[in-house]
Structure 1
Amino acid sequence: MLRNYLKMALRNFTKYKVYSFINLGGLTLAVTCCLLLGLYVRHEWSFDRFHTQTDRLYRAWTREVYKGDVFTNTVTPYVLGPTLKETYPEVEAMSRVQTSTLNVKKGEEVLSERVHAVDKDFFRMFDFPLVRSTGGNPIQDLYSVVLTEEVAQKYFGTENPVGKQLYLQLDSTMQAYTVTAVAKNVPTHSSIRFGMVIPLENILRYRSDKVLKSWFMIDPETYVLLRERTESEKLRAKFPALLTTVLGDKYQDQNYIINLQPMPDIHLNTELTGGIEPTSNPAYSYILGGIALFILLIACINFMTLSLGRSVSRAQEVGVRKAVGALRGQLMGQFWSEALLMTVLAVSLGVLLAFVLTPTFSQLANQTLTFRFDATAALFLLGLIVMVGLVAGSYPSLVLSGFRPVEVLKGKISLKSDASLFRRSLVVVQFSLSVFLIAGTIVLNQQLNFLQSTSLGYQSDKTVIIPVGAGGEAGRQRVERYRQALASQKEVQSVAASAFPFAEGSGGSWGTLGFTDTKKVYREFQFNIVDPHFIPTYGIKVVQGRNFDPANTADTYGGLIVNQALVKAFDLKDPLNERLPGRFHDHRIIGVTDDFHYASLHSKVQPLVMVLRLDSLVKYSENMMFTSSSALDLSIRLAPGQVSEQVAMLEQTWKAVVPGEPFRFTFLDDSLQRQYEAEQRLSRIVTVASLLSILIACLGLFGLATLAVARRTKEIGIRKVLGASVYGIMGLLSKDFLKLVLIGILIASPLAWFALDRWLQDFAYRISVQWWVFALAGTLAVGVALLTVSLQSIKAALMNPVKSLRSE
């Protein structure tokens, strides 16, 4: 029986080539899109699950309530990890992880590398396989270093690096480190991404005893491995007793909390951010997963409408089969076998196409994705075949197999009104989904353009950022030497320095300082250490007062320039004649700037203070935090000209002035664009998906138009005999479909508005969703629908009426 079903299915495929091609093409595109989007979603949800002990791995985090304000930190005190391991037998192992940018030297070449410093249990806790090793713990010795294959290739080429030396600079001198192991390149779905690993003890030697023992100064991430059968909730319940002991009078009920975050929860948890690696918004995975299902559903609806479009031509086949004794169940099996065979072919072609397009999609999604065919993928594809085959073949099987043989053989085919209603509803659903995606694409691109084109309150074009590699007095000396060396270069308009550059993170990368004011209210502001050239270089508008005067000693040690957000937040009526509302007696506000966007537009502009030196400001603070190094960064504004030649000049000058420091640079505009990578990625994917959805939906509309023409052939013939024009017949056939598309627009518009408005809430600065977005989306849908229907309408209108009426 099954063999017969397959033979008949193949015979029908070859007999109805056009319909088979459209069906197969639509399903193949949908399956390909579904697989590629599934790759992205799977990549996002597979973070950190490759560790064999992942169910026992946790990242510690703290929450501090200080004078009514809540501070949640995923970077922790140095003392936390060792205390947990020493205090609780449930903690089997512990490792802190901290990153630093260090100079690395091999031979005469000096490069800058991001280095991870970890504790000795690191490679025992995490699955980062070693491909070369001296044996034993690779970071047991103080001056040992572990490289990934990529970094080993960079420094040693094809030779075995184990046992060889690299020189790392943690302070002012280079220290020899021995390569003890080479690890496989870290998977892209890991929340710990290293290229070079050294023992954390090297960092701890440069930290004061006060910092190492403080429970309020934070820097590294802390990971723990719990023993088997340990319940993390029961362990958490013991932490308050520990805090009572270590904090004493500073600890009150729930004002300091230690908690544990499961390892697989790190990447997609947007409530616990601020760690070493950025997190991802899980909403984007849900959106893309939903789009994949939308497109698959549209393709399944296509299969139904196209099959029903062929119902007239296959009616006699059904009648003859029933007349010779075929049961309805056998006919249903026939149609389902055709659907399943079509689905198997579509999935096979979809898998092949997805495999070929994975590198292209990886570039589109800005992710490193690999098409892995494993047990999970096999089960997914099998489930996809069964689901699509059953859904796509269900309605044709139920409707076509229900035709009455006597009526069919007499040429009287009657599709019930509820069947017609359901069929039309499917088209409404198709175009509702398509309009939803088109509107989403428009709004996504609008918001992205808004983010990229909104005035930030400073000039970012033609600006090169160069890390100085040192802070404090040593950094200032380097800056001054370099500025003097560039003074004669016409290609350089201005040179400025600051402790924190623009665009290091979406939430703001400048430092945060907290203090208690004279009314016992705890306050915070962002801060940056700048030089007198910073504000002129960036063209930041000073709305009150003046810029720093380098010749004025009072400006150097006590001058503050604040933004309007601080004036408003601190309720300063006359800021130039007032001081900060605290113990900042040695400081005075000399200028107020406009609220320029030093962070991304995801967050509102916060109160800001700029100073020339931080020394005296620090002693009045109670809390200070910054996520990047306080080493200075140069901002160089270039004159119009050949950028490549200008950068070459900057590098040549740098090597002459600072020969021991590698030359690194980024363009500020590029850094600003990277703040919105997630939105750019989503916009690109949704744009392509919306185009595919409207294409596949139009195939369904083509099928419905085919069905309408087949059912109304004689009516069209009579109308032509009575004098109906071609345009009149086109309008007659088109208006019914336009009604369906318009209903789809009316359904999709409020749903899309609600979803898009919710998405925009994630941005502090955003566009508003305008009515014309849905009008444009609807117009596009109507235009494409008219074009699709017109193909069949024109064909029907030009048909010879004699042929359609000959049987009457």
Structure 2
Amino acid sequence: MKRTLTSLVQDFRVGLRLLAREPAYAMTAIAGLGIGLAACLLLLGFVRYSWQYNAHVPDAARVYVVKQRHNADPLAPSYDQAPTMLYGAARQLAGVEQAAAYVTWVPLTLTENSRPYKVAALAVTPGFERMTGVQAIHGDVAEALARPDGLVLTEAAALRLFGTADVLNRTVAAATVHEHRAALRIAAVVRTPPANSTIPFEALHGMASAIVPPDARQEALTGEQGWWGYVLVKLAPGASPAGVAAGLQQALDRMPFAQAVAANARTALGSRKAMEVQLAPLTDAYFDHDVAVNFFSMRIERGDRAVAGGLAVVGVLVLALAAVNYANLATIRVIRRRREIGLRKVLGAGLGRLALQFTAEALAVSLLATLLGLLLAWLALPLFGAAMNRDLSTLLSAQNVAAALLAGVGLGLVTAAYPAWTAFRVRPAHALAGRPDAEAPGGARLRKALAMLQVAAALALASYAIAVGWQTRHAIHASPGFDPRPLLVLELPEQHNPKISAPARGLLQALTRDAAVAGVAISTDPVGAARDPWHTGLRSVGGAEVATDIKSVSSEFFTVYGIAPVTGRLFSSRTDREDDVEPLVVNQLAARLLGFAHADQAIGQVVQFRKGKQWIAKRIVGVAPEVRFQSMKVTPGPVAYELWTAGSVLTVRAAAAPAAAEQAIRTAWQRYFPDAPLDVRGAQDIYASGYADELRLAGLLAMATAIALMLAASGAYVLAADAISRRTREIAIRKLHGARGRDIGRLVARELAALGAIPAVAGLPLAAVAIERYLSGYVERAPMGWWPLVCALVLGVVTTGVAGARHTWRAVRLQPAAVLGS
């Protein structure tokens, strides 16, 4: 064993010296394998990061999120929030080991050195820290949460606010958006939660904290009114989630707010519960796209299982293509070294000794490539993290680096197999006599098939990437039903809207008077990004109830957005009073579902509008065209517009240049909200943000395609070189018999054409199926037809053509005398 290890080390050193003597081969082999390893490391690291969301929570597999769906609202989605009273009910149920709740009702601003800092604060119940694995650095977390003046900060928040984590017992002034104030003492500092957590926070305090307003404290402790918060339950080993959910459902059904359902709504519910409780695993929360957001939702980036799985496949595929590329390069190198191998066999080298030599050489390449891959991954990590919109700073942890080094060793062992087998087949007598029998015909066909596999994978990736990118571009830039270019959107600070807030009214008036602003509208949501959707029922006289999406807007909404009526009129400050309850505007789909065959028939008709337990009468004054409020993945539904100025979203129409209007907004904002951050976005950017995942996917696919095409080009280059080398004498004889340069060019071109045509037949149909599956998720598709496949085919032809151009030129310029005379 010791002798074998010594021989391996010696061969490793020899391999390094051989690589140094062949810099072109070494650079090509190491760079190709290193780039593939870097891409694979980043992609698989991101996939692992995604699958480990909430893994830091103790016994995370037994922790569940209490979800609910308000069935009384016909279009209501599921929420990962539930009435906080379920926390107390859960603690009494058999099978529940622990329960905890946390709420975001009390957004905090902490003041340090007269400078306000907004912090992501959670008000939590006792035991939250044990259940979620909060780790103290300084102080006692449980004691801090029990104190009325206690505050817990994360290490990152302490560094951001004070520049140090040694802040125990410091007092800070705290304020809420409700203008409630208190002096809090930092009684504990804890480790910052991992980035891959769906329970992010910077500060914690108890429900009985002095900073919690009295009404919120009462509700948090009793749950009398059914306010929603986040409820977690940890099941005992072997407990049934369905049984616990049933117990929570029974507790909820007994509450007065759950029983206060109008008779007609109860009839419509049938056997369904007014509010239906579910338990969802905390470990699946990151991938849970069924939950909707509302005003008090935590802003959490969520992932997609299919995308994560697809990225894992792409990462492994890129690494496999890099390994195939290296194996081909190494095999060609073995063929060129057949005289050396034959001589070593004559001198007594056995098969085992040869296997050690080629294994050592492959390990030398793979380890150097792994080091290069780690360096490239480290350099690319900030850009990759920014592109994925995730904090991936821990991706290159010591554990992951060690795994990458082990993978590099394993890759070296695997890729050494075929070159070593080729070396075993070298016959010393034939090799020393110059006869080219180093590789069997089957081996040459295998290498050609592997090179074609590289091209096929590159073509499939390229066509899929083009389709994803084009569909995403189409979705972002397609007309939403108005021209978004002159529109700027901003949100007022929490608890501020023009209906109740003097600063908000002042800001609105200042913008209206500014010459750079053509108009200002109020709404509850930014168009294109539903933050707090509201649905209710509409019904015409004698008609059935129609579940409708309600948009609450000011009278200037349609004017600012530049939307003209299909028929009738839309809201206008010249004809409508703000907050008038009677006028209603519906879209064309809502008019049809209400029973009006033509839009004109809806004008002037009175419909019933369900508001809580009551039905109120509204008159349809106009029918609006279809406006795309959500992404193209969501089927448009019926929409109705009501007049209401309690929204917190302002849309500003620029009179000329949007930049001048933005400057006017910033100037006025500084006057009325000097301590609040301002976020101004173009209306087009809001639509683009809805396709952030698709943009990231398109970028990753483009990166993978570029790497795959590079590896395919390398494989085509090697294959072309091998083909010309094998047919050198044939080409020379053809020239002696009168073949011209273009005849030789066509001969080589046919060889290269097979390298492009066969992979196209194999790879493009698979890509077409994948593209169709991807596009099936969209309600509206970009007009693309077959051109992504055609573009990918052109890319493949160009890639193989450029890769084989040098060898084609060498074959055309070949001198028969130099070949046949040697």
Same topology, TM > 0.5: yes
Superposed CA offset, 1:335-364 (max 9, x none): 233222211221122112222322232233
Aligned mate of 1:544, from 567, 581, 588: 567
| AA in 2 matched with 1:50 | H
Distance 1:22 1:547 in 2: 66
Q: 1:565 — aligned with what?
A: 589
- Residue 654 of structure 2 is matched in structure 1 by 638
1:705 aligns with 2:732: no
For the residue of structure 1 that corresponds to 2:480, the secondary structure is: coil
Once the two structures are superposed, residues 305-351 of structure 1 have per-residue CA deviations (whole angstroms, 9 ceiling, x without a partner) of: 22232344222223223334433344334323322221122112211
Counterpart-to-counterpart distance in 2, 1:529 and 1:54: 41
Does 1:327 find its partner at 2:350?
Answer: yes
Alpha-carbon displacement from aligned partner over 1:770-802 (angstroms, at most 9, x marks no partner): 212111111111112111111122123323322
- Distance change >3 Å, CA 529–CA 179, structure 1 → 2: farther
Give the aligned partner of residue 689 of structure 1: 704
Further displaced range: 412-421 or 37-46: 412-421
Deviations 1:386-405 (A, max 9, x none): 44223322222223312333
Correspondence for 2:465: 441
Query: C-alpha displacement at 1:22, in angstroms?
Result: 1.3
Aligned position for 1:262 = 281
Question: In the alignment, which residue of structure 1 is the partner of 2:776?
Answer: 761
**TM-aligned CA deviation for residue 281 of structure 1:** 0.8
Task: Report the CA distance shift for 1:71/1:677 in structure 2 as closer, same or farther (over 3 A).
Answer: closer
Summarize the alignment of residues 643-662 of structure 1 with structure 2, pairs less than 5 Å apart: 643=659, 646-656=661-671, 658=672, 662=676
Q: Is the 8 A contact 1:457 1:541 kept in 2?
A: no
Does the alignment pair 1:576 with 2:586? no
Which residue in the other structure is 1:72 paired with? 78
Q: Give the match's secondary structure for 1:344.
A: helix
Map of 2:492 onto structure 1:
467
Which residue identity is paired with 1:369?
A: L
Question: Which residue does 1:126 correspond to in 2?
Answer: 132
* Partner of residue 789, structure 2: 774
SS in 2 for 1:337: helix
The 8 Å contact of residues 362 and 412 in structure 2, kept in 1 or not, is answered as yes
Q: Does 1:340 align with 2:388?
A: no
Q: SS at 2:676's partner residue? A: coil
- Deviation track 1:237-268 (CA, whole Å, cap 9, x = no partner) reads 65566567667898987746533222221112
Decide whether the 8 Å contact of 1:527 with 1:609 is kept in 2: yes
Q: Does 1:52 align with 2:58?
A: yes
Task: Call closer, same or farther: CA 1:590–1:662 in 2, change over 3 Å.
Answer: same
The range that moved more, 288-297 or 713-722, is 713-722
**Residue in structure 2 matched with residue 497 of structure 1 by the alignment:** 522
Indicate how the Cα distance of structure 1 residues 82 and 613 shifts in structure 2: closer, same or farther if over 3 A, else same. same
| 1:227-266 alignment, distance < 5 Å | 227=236, 230=239, 232=241, 235-236=244-245, 255=273, 257-266=276-285
Q: d(CA) in 2 for partners of 1:693 and 1:399?
A: 26
Q: How far apart, in 1, do the equivalents of 2:540 and 2:150 lie?
A: 47
1:633 maps to a residue whose letter is V
Contact 2:608 2:618 survives alignment (8 Å): no
2:3 equivalent in structure 1: none
Does the 8 Å CA contact 1:475/1:632 hold for their aligned counterparts? no
Which one-letter code corresponds to 2:656 in the other structure?
P
Rounded to whole Å, the distance in 1 between the matches of 2:145 and 2:816 is 88
Alpha-carbon distance change, 64 to 516 in structure 1, aligned in 2, over 3 angstroms = farther
Indicate the residue corresponding to 1:533 in structure 2: 556
- Is 1:166–1:179's contact at 8 Å kept on the other side of the alignment? no
> Are the aligned partners of 2:89 and 2:251 in contact in 1 as well (CA < 8 Å)?
no
Match for residue 427 of structure 2 among 395, 400, 404? 404
**How many residues align structurally?**
787
**Which residue of structure 2 lines up, in the alignment, with residue 117 of structure 1?**
123
Matched, 1:220 2:229: yes
Counterpart of 2:229, as a letter, is: P
1:620 equivalent in structure 2: none
Structure 1 stretch 735-744 or stretch 101-110: which is displaced more?
101-110
Which residue number corresponds to residue 735 of structure 1? 750
Distance 1:114 1:304 in 2: 52
Letter in 2 for 1:221: Y
The match for 1:193 is 200
| Change in 2 beyond 3 A, CA 1:729/1:15 | farther
Task: Flag structure 1 segments of 5+ consecutive residues without an equivalent.
Answer: 615-629
1:489, distance to aligned residue in structure 2 (A): 1.9
Q: Secondary structure at the match of 2:146?
A: coil
CA separation of 1:240/1:612 partners in 2, compared to 1, >3 Å: closer, same or farther? closer
Deviates further, 144-153 or 358-367: 144-153
1:605 aligns with 2:670: no
> Bigger shift: 64-73 or 776-785?
64-73
* 1:790–1:396 CA distance, 2 compared to 1 (3 A): same
Taking a change above 3 Å as real, the CA distance of residues 157 and 515 of structure 1, as seen in their structure-2 partners, is: farther
Looking at structure 1, the residues matched to 206 and 418 of structure 2 have their Cα atoms a distance apart, in angstroms, of: 65
Q: Do the aligned partners of 1:564 and 1:595 also contact (CA within 8 Å) in 2?
A: yes
Q: Is the 8 A contact 1:579 1:585 kept in 2?
A: no
Moved more, 707-716 or 159-168: 159-168
Give the structure 2 partner of residue 388 of structure 1: 411
The corresponding residue for 1:591 is 622
Q: Aligned equivalents of 1:345 and 1:2: distance in 2?
A: 17
Deviation, 1:559, is 1.4
Identify the range of structure 1 (738-747 vs 276-285) with the bigger mean alpha-carbon deviation. 276-285
CA deviation map 1:415-461 (0-9, x unaligned): 43332322211111100110111112211220121022101113333
Q: Give 5+ residue unaligned stretches, structure 2.
A: 1-6
The letter of the residue matching 2:340 is: E
Matches within 5 A, 1:15-94: 15-63=21-69, 71-88=77-94, 90-94=96-100
Return the letter of the residue paired with 1:681: R
**Counterparts in 2 of 1:203 and 1:717: CA distance versus 1, 3 Å:** farther
- For residue 131 of structure 1, report the CA deviation from its aligned partner: 3.8
Q: Hey, what's the Cα distance between the residues in 1 that align with 2:281 and 2:465?
A: 35
SS in 2 for 1:590: strand
Give the TM-score normalised by structure 2: 0.87
CA distance in 1, matches of 2:637, 2:61: 39
Are the structure 2 counterparts of residues 659 and 30 from structure 1 closer, same or farther at C-alpha, using a change threshold of 3 Å? closer
- The corresponding residue for 1:665 is 679
* Contact 1:130/1:184, CA 8 A, preserved across alignment: yes
Structure 1 residue 565 displacement after superposition: 2.6
State whether residues 306 and 704 of structure 1, in contact with CA within 8 Å, keep that contact through their aligned partners in structure 2. Answer: no
Quick one: distance in 1 between partners of 2:59 and 2:399? 20
Relative to structure 1, the CA distance from residue 675 to residue 783 in structure 2 (aligned partners, 3 Å threshold; closer, same or farther) is: same
Could you say what secondary structure the match of 2:808 adopts? Answer: helix
Specify the alignment match of 2:4 in structure 1.
none
Counterpart of 1:188 in structure 2: which amino acid? A
Hey, what's the Cα distance between the residues in 1 that align with 2:557 and 2:108?
26
Distance 1:733 1:18 in 2: 24
Q: Does 1:286 align with 2:305?
A: no
**CA distance 1:654–1:803, change in 2 (3 Å):** closer
